[in-house]
Each structure stands twice: as structure tokens, then as C-alpha cells.
Amino acid sequence: MTTPTPPTILRGTYQLLDRLGAGGMGEVYVAAHARLHKRFAVKLLAPHHGDSGEAYARFQREAEITSRLGHPHIVEIVDFDVAELAAR
């Protein structure tokens, strides 16, 4: 795992700690929640998608559909937001 440089805090809530991996749509990080003191996985839309409305719509659809699933082997979606990452 690698640590993002510099450490990024999303919406004052999620502090990105370590990069877990990347795929075609995005990157996944381990993040610490500032108030709950829990760790979450945070998926960010890959920077090369830029302002692609189609990529964003696909990313949002993935979050919405996955949030309806409940299974021990499928990650639970607990939040979805749009944030600018100045330091990526």
C-alpha cells in the first residue's frame, strides 16, 4: 500500500490513509472517519475521467445499485458525494 501525497481529507470527514488499488473507473483508499473513529474504503473516480459526465453518471449508478445489495461478500455503500480533490 502507498500513502497518498499529501494526505487528503474529503469534506472534513474522511482522511485518506493508504491506497489499496486502482481499476478502470477509479482508485480505492483506506480512510479514517473523523468523528466515528472507524475505517472505511473510499472509491474515487479516476482523475483521467476529468469532467466526463458519462463517467460520473456510471460511477453514481454503480454506487446506487450496489447500495441496494446486502450480502456478506459485497461491500456496503454508506455514502456517496461529489468532492474536488485539489491535491491529487
Q: Domain residue spans in the chain?
A: 1-88
What's the confidence (pLDDT) of residue 42?
A: 92
What's the confidence (pLDDT) of residue 3?
A: 54
What's the confidence (pLDDT) of residue 30?
A: 95
d(CA 44, CA 51): 13
d(CA 43, CA 63): 10
What's the confidence (pLDDT) of residue 6?
A: 45
Domain 1-88: CATH superfamily is Phosphorylase Kinase; domain 1 (3.30.200.20)
Strands 39-45 and 9-10: unpaired
What's the confidence (pLDDT) of residue 2?
A: 62
pLDDT, averaged in runs of 10, over the chain (88 residues): 65 92 90 95 82 84 93 91 60
